[in-house]
Amino acid sequence: MLSASSRGWMCSSQGGTSSSVRSTQALTRKHHSSVRAMGKGLTTSTIPAFAPSVLVFVQASNRVENMLNNCTHHAMNKPKLTQHRSLAALLVSLLALLPVACDRWVDTSLNVDPNNPADVPMKLLLPAVEGSLAWYYGSDPSRFASVITQHHSGVDRQHMSFYENYAFTESDVDNYWQAMYTIVMNNANILIKKAEAQNSPHYAGVARILLAYAIGNITDAFGDAPFSDALKGEQNTTPRYDSQQQIYLTIGQLLDQAMQDLDAQSVLSPGSDDYFYGGDRAKWKKAAWALRARYAIHLTKRDAAQSSNAALAAIANSFSSNSDDLVLRFGESQTNYNPLYAFVQERNDIRIAPFFTDLLNRLQDPRRPMIGATPKTATDSIPANDDLGAFYASINSPVVLLSYAELKFIEAEARLRTGDLSGAKNAYVDAIRASMAWYGVADADAAAYLANPAVVPAGDITLEHIMTQKYIALYTQFETWTDWRRTNFPALTPMTGNRIPRRFPLPQSERLFNGANIPAGSTSADWKFTPMWWDE
């Protein structure tokens, strides 16, 4: 059940769902390859001045990886790198070895390497966390979800079996799970601790929002997951699992604290080191409220009325235009490219799925020239299995984490569920307009689309109208899979059998390193078809 609060939403443990923390689970990982990933996706085309400050951090991570490659000799049956070990901790521990090995031969001052800092300052740690979150969110989880929801079809390599047979395995999701814990959440947690130690709550506030986003994505992908007992370093390498219900409560608490942090006095504050908003605290607070709205609307199967009211309360304080979007644009080199680019332009693994092309063509959607590679005008059709268009498949294409269009669709759904039919229709039209503006569609083409009765009927809209248009607007985004699971729209036909996955399989590393404590049934082949808490 849900209960409203002055800050948005919260859950109670009624209805037979336990909110207790589950059994222990390992976060130990074979993961020195993850250190390299910290250097990906760390430039933006909107604020290019950020890039030079990140270079030192990226060089440091690369050197740490080289040291690990040369020095690691763990047995296959033992954990290699713990998922909670941060780059900063690795630098400290590895650099500490240098004087022992060398000080009897050379002046120890010569061992100081400006590109391998022993303590990473907040102004370097923040962009690394932001860039890593955008990279990993836009990579495996969004790409896999886009195949499940038939935005994309797999036409080569493993993506073909992902699309045709839903053949996602525990090893396919392992890197994503490890990276979100090791790189994103762990370093966000370190940033929070640094900010608190330096009386700089503005940094802590941003980090808490990023942390809430990351654990929210993990729980929506896997269900129950470690959190309250995780991120503790060597003190605990086998953290317990939290129930998904408990994680949703934690997300609300993180966002509440983040907004308090952003309102507090701060010695240091993010500025040009903030990829997303350039240190604009007002926009970060809007993003926190936007996340509250997103996670509230996820709970419509638990209590549609209360979750809708909570979403509406949060939306009132959230985004007011496309300029508020939480989005990162990538660079144009092989070290900071868009995460979808490699699978489209370099490997040619995925194409636009027939279901999606049919939908766009049937509605004469003017966004087709941006979504597909073939059409040259708004009236051209996209052929099935067409290449992705340059808008999302270029080396520097954006990854959208939250958008004004999404918030307007959430508002439309929430108003529909609470009986405000006219308000729902107005929000629905505003959402489509926001998406058209984001894609750069001409006003005349957008108006013609909205005049189509298949898009905007003369009478009241339905939930299917809202979710279908949201599915189009949020193309390539993980959120469309969450929407389908809780609403069954758009109406997808399974590619094989009679089931579509409702979660990712539990990662292989979890089974290998703490198999006795993973959730019951999680090693079954049917696990990925099992609804999670908010989907029940």
CA distances (Å), origin 468, targets 32, 137, 472: 41, 22, 6
Residue owning tokens 């058209």: 436
Segment 5-58, tens digit of pLDDT: 333 343 333 333 333 222 223 333 333 333 223 323 322 323 222 222 233 333
What is the per-residue pLDDT for 449? 98
Least confident of 176-180, 333-337, 424-428, 453-457: 333-337
Q: What is the pTM of this model?
A: 0.79
Q: Which candidate, 17, 36, 51, places its Cα nearest to that of 124?
A: 51
- The band of 383, judged by pLDDT with boundaries at 50, 70 and 90, is low
Does residue 196 surpass a pLDDT of 60? Answer: yes
Can you tell me the mean pLDDT for 281-290? 99
Segment 432-462, tens digit of pLDDT: 999 999 999 999 999 999 999 999 999 999 9
Q: Which domains, and CATH codes, for the chain? A: 22-98+116-279+501-535 (1.25.40.390)
Report the alpha-carbon distance of residue 364 to residue 453 in Å, rounded: 12
31 or 163, which is more confident: 163
Report the alpha-carbon distance of residue 449 to residue 460 in Å, rounded: 17
Residue owning tokens 């959208």: 400
Residue owning tokens 């009765």: 453
What is the per-residue pLDDT for 350? 77
Segment 336-352, tens digit of pLDDT: 777 777 656 555 677 88
What is the per-residue pLDDT for 113? 59
The DSSP bridge partners found for residue 400 are 327
Tell me the Ramachandran region of residue 465: left when phi exceeds 0, alpha when psi lies from -120 to 50, beta otherwise: alpha
Report the alpha-carbon distance of residue 321 to residue 341 in Å, rounded: 27
Tell me the percentage of the chain whose pLDDT exceeds 70: 70
CA distances (Å), origin 448, targets 280, 379, 429: 36, 11, 13
Q: Phi and psi at residue 9, in whole multiples of 5°?
A: -150, 160
Report the alpha-carbon distance of residue 152 to residue 364 in Å, rounded: 19
